[in-house]
Structure 1
Amino acid sequence: MKSNMLAMRLLFTITDVKEAKKIEELLFQAHLPIYYQCRGQGTAKSELLDICGLSGRARLITVTILPQKLVDSIFTSLSQKYHITRKGMGIAGTIPITGIQEIVLKMMDEEMRRKLEENIERNEIEMNKDAMYTMVLTAVKEGYSDHVIDAALKAGAKGGSVIRGRRRGNEAIVQFLGISMQEEQEFVLVIVPKDKKADIMKSVSDSCGLKTPAKGVILSVPVEEIAGMEN
């Protein structure tokens, strides 16, 4: 159980755009170095939007990576300090991560990195026993999404989708990763067969990783159910 607290999670929040400062403050206080944001418009039926209190408003979608051990405190703050559980304040959730590039893990010390690697592997084994697909998510500098798609296709992917947004975070991380904060980003989502995930992530990392001009961050999350994909 103790090691499970180091398992990596993808945290997402969907809030009104006016809550941007509150989300920024929350992530800064939690010492989460990088997060990504994009804007969207809700398209659910009015009854559901009314339940969530989000009807007719633009959304701010925020995504970041964090250890499992921080999830409870983040959700406590979202509920008690930022009142996200109140009608109209938004939605938050987490997704287990089953793959991440090595350079991101190097942000942790050696012992934590070793445990995180073990837990990422365990996540993949335990949560994808029957799953045939995984989603590879890549965030790159604006203008490099085609490079990501090309690298993924070269390794066996069938295609992908692109969302545009912005990378935000703590400027202190810039020196370590050699990236710029508050930079326009393109997010590429590619659903691939599980047995091709490693090859596709390596191909994308080699072509568009943090050591390339694209400055890409790449990770994967499980896909439990899917329709419309060819084997």
Structure 2
Amino acid sequence: MTVTKQTIYTHGQLLLSIVERHTGERLVAATKRAGAHGGTIILGRGTAESSLLESLGIGDSEKDVVLTLATDEQTGPIMAALRSSEMREKHIRGVAMLIDVTDILRHVRSDEADSVSSAERRSPMKTQDDHVLITFIVNRGYADDAMLAARKAGAKGGTVLNARGTGSEEDVKFFGISLVPEKEILLILVEAAQSDAILQAVRKVPCLAEPGSGIAFCTAVEDFITLGTKANDQR
């Protein structure tokens, strides 16, 4: 008997974790025990001032950036696991944040599709205005200039990822960006009230003022914790 599949969209969360290099695997293992299905690890580097290293664990050093996609039901147990005292014993230091994902593409059997409620497919976005994640996608070599301008506008630090462009000619026409394959992604977690000033400051950087030099966007952060501190048990 042939079983047909149906594509549906459901609501969920993206857990973005930035931890010290070589500890990403341990973090993925902890989230899997809490119900996650896995994660993706990207190599990055921190740009925060050394005075913040003790409190945030994001210094000017190599990092593991872990992306974990989870359903709304899974995020509670996962965040509880990250806040537990067991995480401190594993010597995993860094930050972890939840980002709202309105659409997760899922392939299910046709006879299972009806069991996915409309609320699960289109859950309302939660309100959390304390922090936002600013993402800059710029041509290789520009991330440090962007971070310098952002820090002058109030940002404390960020994480740089090496990437490559995959845009088509149609994407270039729509976004106005150039097809330079080598890219850098700069992630900066800030208080929501700071985001406009930081975006405006980076926009004025000479190397980023040219058409096609990059794009930027903000994403609301659902939850925010620091890893490796006693404060985790108090939240």
TM-score for the superposition, normalised by structure 1: 0.49
Structure of higher CA gyration radius: 2
TM-score for the superposition, normalised by structure 2: 0.48
Higher strand share: 2
